[in-house]
Amino acid sequence: MRDPFSGRKYVVVPPIVPDVAVIHAFKGDMFGNIITDSFRNDRLLAMAARKTIAVVEELVEPDAVLPGKHGVFVSRVHINAVVVAPGGAHPTACRDTYDIDTAHIMTYMEATKDEKSFLNYLEAYITGPKDHTQYLKLVKSEVNND
């Protein structure tokens, strides 16, 4: 397509508009203002999606929604729901809070090799535990056993 300003020809693609974006943030308040990891594209996702759910490590007072060294502020106008779930990024990392659970990632990678072992994984870690607390208890007990 021809750029109306420079006259040069460019390939263009339509923007992606997700129905729902789910992002994991450091902290947020009850109105949906959040601080998230500045290395990722969470703010872009929140601004592009029709609806955005922010999972936060911590619920704080509005005055405490301040970015630290690696945080970026995302206004409530882009956020539709806040879910408080400490440890919610497991088995991946949440910067400055917890590291990636490498052993669990290896377990997951092994499990994805065939249909049956993956169903077993889902049963053990996703559909089995009755809630996120129980899931975290399960994966933490495995870390302690290592």
Partner 1 sequence: MTNKAIHPFETMIIVISRLIHNGEVAATGTLSPIPAAALFLAQRQHAPDLVPMVYGDPDMRITDGLMEFFGLVQRGMVDLFFLSAIQIDQKGNFNLSVIGDHARPKLRLPGGAGSNMMAMMAKRTIFFTVTHTPKLFVPEVDFINGTAQDTSIPWRRGVVSHLATPLCLLRYDPAKGAIVLDSTYPGISLQMVAENTGFDLDIESRDIPEIAPILQEELDFLRGEVKERLQRIYPLFCSMLW
Which residues would be at the binding site for partner 1 (CB under 8 A)?
8, 37-44, 69-70, 72
Nearer to partner 1, 38 or 80 (CB): 38
What's the closest the beta carbon of residue 106 comes to partner 1, in angstroms? 12
Q: Give 82's strand partners.
A: 54
- Separation in Å, CA 95 to CA 40, 83, 99, 107, 124: 11, 18, 7, 22, 27
What's the closest the beta carbon of residue 42 comes to partner 1, in angstroms? 8
What's the closest the beta carbon of residue 56 comes to partner 1, in angstroms? 18
Nearer to partner 1, 3 or 123 (CB): 3
Nearer to partner 1, 44 or 77 (CB): 44
What's the closest the beta carbon of residue 8 comes to partner 1, in angstroms? 7
Whether residue 15 is preceded by a cis peptide bond, meaning omega within 30 degrees of 0, is no
Please count the other Cβ atoms lying within 10 Å of the Cβ belonging to residue 53.
Answer: 17
Supply 36's token pair.
Answer: 């998230």
What's the closest the beta carbon of residue 135 comes to partner 1, in angstroms? 26
Nearest of 55, 46, 40, 105 to residue 79 by alpha carbon: 46
Largest CA distance in the chain: 65
Nearer to partner 1, 5 or 39 (CB): 39
Nearer to partner 1, 70 or 140 (CB): 70
